[in-house]
Structure 1
């Protein structure tokens, strides 16, 4: 594990709890929390979904990679990546030195997450089909980059947090 950079990186689909668990983990560990989607918005002045529409998926992923190269060595707390960030070319290699936890959630539990579709309008008109395909496409990548997988289906955030912290290497 790297000594410079995040003590914990969380990956998973939108709605898996990366921000919620990330903030809780940062508080428990006494470190800062950073949401990479917020970094992308601050850097480019638009939400990730708008950037994908403006630039296209390929250019958006290049922008994610370029920003992540700068963010990783500077942030020594907990980092929650965007749902698609680990799928960008080169990102899995960037994550190698860091402790990565995949917050795993199934389709039925994602569909129950309040506000998910409103936050991610690209899921329309058929959220179930879009989410199913996204999970199918991304799960192997999340699994590949992760040092640990923590299931979140139907679990309380406090219980998920305990599993995330238990999966961390001793510091």
Structure 2
């Protein structure tokens, strides 16, 4: 029984109280964290929902745009499209949560810390020609110069560096670790 109690407390602590303290509508489940989220359309205004972030990295949104809306278990991209967002396909920028009373894009929060797109590809398209798992490169925007910087995701260390940068709201280009292969191209 003691193992069951330890396991339960382990699942609930996906994010620390410190990380979630200023977010609006925080709720904890057995294996997920739930927060109030939304997406703004210039034509239709705000569509509000409940974002669940599961321990395995899955994201799921239950739409609450109108009292009769029956949309549940939407991906963030599907929620963005459902809300009528004109520039869909940038859900990390367009779907927001309320932090300290302001709308903050998902990519600027810690909520994407465990997000893993590779688990979504059930057809094996995330495998290279030799059959080994591979990752696509990801980008993080600099908070100082507003440029997007590429992160290679080939090893666990590179993935950890990317996730740490993604979780840091004040990430800057100077925080990017030195890459001996990219050095000749830096000006």
Same-fold status (TM-score > 0.5): no
Question: What's the TM-score, normalizing by structure 2?
Answer: 0.26
Question: What's the TM-score, normalizing by structure 1?
Answer: 0.27
Q: Which has the higher helix share?
A: 1
Q: Which has the higher strand share?
A: 2
